[in-house]
Structure 1
């Protein structure tokens, strides 16, 4: 297999115009020299060797595979081709995996480009319109899809293990922020003054001083530091989510990973008994009345 793959062309058709497509899916690729700039440089060298006229470069930095119409750079490339008339274009990219790491979308994207009269050229793969060539191309696309899914599975496994070890990995919730803690890495820490405000709201609802999520909502709206919408209001959904989160009691729950009430390493804002009272009130369970002193 040649390092530079080209398609035989009829030079009588005039000059071949080219657009370059570059994509990275992680900062690690940039560190290893597979960044957007290095891809563009290699593609330009290839275009020059073929005598192509490079008109535009379309970069993407979205990760993974999937629908190419979710990549801004690819959408812009297709729109650019739609706006051109009377030119023959080559779409150049440096590696087959930059094209589409999904078999279905690989075939669809190739069809979309051909419908626009564009040829696809890759620096490390020769596209051939033969049954054998299409078979090899499909196998390589499937291999890329397998690698992407395996990598995704490994990422999820590592993240799940981190949560089981007691660390929250998602966006910080109201009252917390991320900070680097010696010996533990990045983890949740209370974010004052919001942590104190959330604690007061949770304890107030558990004790009955705040009778409903709507009252919690209005309580939170009193404080300038609490995030609000453009109308200056706290969303009722935010108040409900705040009341439901076991995170505030020091526990982690990620249902999609079958993790429920896993003890966390972060500092809790309320104790578990208070959180349980909140859930009972939200679920309409009657609270046990205070026991009278029957010893007398």
Structure 2
């Protein structure tokens, strides 16, 4: 029987630019290799992703891992070891799991891999891992050095600016774009000092004014941004991002975020670069003060609790937010708050839903689920197993890492004993092996700690299930009238998600699915769409 092979090809932008690792070239080489093996190709996986991302966290890598798991392939072929992964632990764990599943693994630069601890594989893996770290470190050192000389580093110019370049075409600073700079200044003037009538405008009002004026948005003037709205349609978030950006006051900062994690660096590590200011420092600081006050007042003005806040969605897929109008609380599709009525075509025409109706419907439906404790626990156990099944890839990696740590400890003992008896060239070689083992052991231990942390965040634990069962028992011995916080806590533990569609609600939860018709309540005061509401769905 002819064996079935799968090809995995991966590129990243740097790979293609620096080494010519194009997807077509990788695929052609792997096809020729498989033809020589006499195998048939049943799948080709092409990926544009960083080698620092674990295999199972890449879309195509996950599909390949699933084929291996269910033995839908007999062999996996990659162009080079680092195409599979540039992370040494991920590389070794993936290869180990695949080999133990009975799948052959080939890399064109090393041939058939017999063991995850094949010395050639380990060396190649460390080369890939070290290269990635060195490239990142060199790049960051160079960028920080340039920033300290007062130069702006790469990336897109903020709205209102263009890049200033030196004689070699390298970016050195920003220069104002007159028309866009006027819009930035107008935004600050409206926000801080008010419009022509002297009334200060909130970010949402500013966004609507700019949209009415058909001013091109930052996403339109700066190519590369993904847009989902029509031309000239501003969002309040865009306005706020301009208001809070200190670049417009003449200070651009480098090194605020840490790589792909986007975590913030300590402020003493930020590098400030002077750039042309579009607004004066006093105006910018007043804007920040007003923005902070608005945030505080917004919290204070939240007079009403919404049981399903963050848990309820419109049939169009957007979240529904709580609002108070016509003397009642409602959930309204967020389309209305994020778009300008009369300026944009209304994509979602769903009506608002009375909160006191849908809240009661959902809670009573959950209580009905609690009526059969045996069925409830069975549903929760099924959901728990599904949650654990989703963690299977990480559990497999955890087992692989633990096994490799144990093997590395054995290797360390053997090298240590051999080193006592060795001398000369042999001793030098053993020292190199010892360094490799130490590096591998440290990397494995770090990965073990990460995996254990990730696996401990499972939400549906035995304790959680027990809490829900105990609550269900309490409900039927006299505490049907649970307070808001008790209801909310249990809805969150059950991972309740509600969808509303034309007077019908559908609940999806760990304890099962329920659907029904939203109850009818006395007719509310009518309002027009011009006032901002989405219509009222609960009326007689």
Pick the structure with greater CA Rg: 2
Contact residue 187 and residue 206 of structure 2 kept, 8 A: yes
- 2:28 maps to 41
**Pairing 1:72-151 to 2, within 5 Å after superposition:** 72-81=59-68, 85=72, 89-114=74-99, 117-125=102-110, 126-129=112-115, 133-134=117-118, 136-151=120-135
Separation in structure 1 between the aligned mates of residue 286 and residue 78 of structure 2, nearest angstrom: 59
Of structures 1 and 2, the one scoring higher in RCO (CA 8 A, sep 6+) is 1
The 1:190/1:75 distance shift into structure 2, 3 A limit, reads farther
Q: CA deviation at 1:92?
A: 0.7
Q: CA deviation at 1:171?
A: 4.3
2:240 partner SS? helix
- 1:161 maps to 145
**Pairing 1:1-296 to 2, within 5 Å after superposition:** 14-27=1-14, 29=16, 32-81=19-68, 85=72, 89-114=74-99, 117-125=102-110, 126-129=112-115, 133-134=117-118, 136-164=120-148, 165-176=150-161, 181=165, 183=167, 184-186=169-171, 188-190=174-176, 193-207=179-193, 215-223=202-210, 224=214, 225-226=216-217, 234-254=234-254, 255-256=256-257, 258-259=269-270, 261-264=272-275, 267-282=276-291
Separation in structure 2 between the aligned mates of residue 205 and residue 66 of structure 1, nearest angstrom: 42
Can you give the 5+ residue segments of structure 2 that lack an aligned partner in the other structure?
220-226, 258-264, 294-540
TM-score w.r.t. the length of structure 1 is 0.72
Separation in structure 1 between the aligned mates of residue 18 and residue 273 of structure 2, nearest angstrom: 36
1:240-294 CA-partner distances (Å, limit 9, x unpaired):
3222211112211243462254213xx432233432343344456xxxxxxxxxx
Contact residue 190 and residue 206 of structure 2 kept, 8 A: no
Separation in structure 1 between the aligned mates of residue 164 and residue 207 of structure 2, nearest angstrom: 28
Contact residue 220 and residue 234 of structure 1 kept, 8 A: yes
More helix by share: 2
Separation in structure 1 between the aligned mates of residue 19 and residue 119 of structure 2, nearest angstrom: 31
- 2:333 maps to none
2:253 partner SS? strand
Can you give the 5+ residue segments of structure 1 that lack an aligned partner in the other structure?
1-13, 285-296
Separation in structure 2 between the aligned mates of residue 33 and residue 261 of structure 1, nearest angstrom: 36
Contact residue 229 and residue 235 of structure 1 kept, 8 A: no
Separation in structure 1 between the aligned mates of residue 209 and residue 292 of structure 2, nearest angstrom: 26
Work out the number of aligned pairs and report it: 263
Contact residue 89 and residue 118 of structure 1 kept, 8 A: yes
Contact residue 85 and residue 91 of structure 2 kept, 8 A: yes
Q: Identify the range of structure 1 (215-224 vs 270-279) with the bigger mean alpha-carbon deviation.
A: 270-279
Separation in structure 1 between the aligned mates of residue 51 and residue 175 of structure 2, nearest angstrom: 31
Q: Identify the range of structure 1 (145-154 vs 71-80) with the bigger mean alpha-carbon deviation.
A: 71-80
Separation in structure 2 between the aligned mates of residue 180 and residue 174 of structure 1, nearest angstrom: 14
Contact residue 218 and residue 234 of structure 1 kept, 8 A: no
Q: CA deviation at 1:137?
A: 3.1
Q: Identify the range of structure 1 (231-240 vs 53-62) with the bigger mean alpha-carbon deviation.
A: 231-240
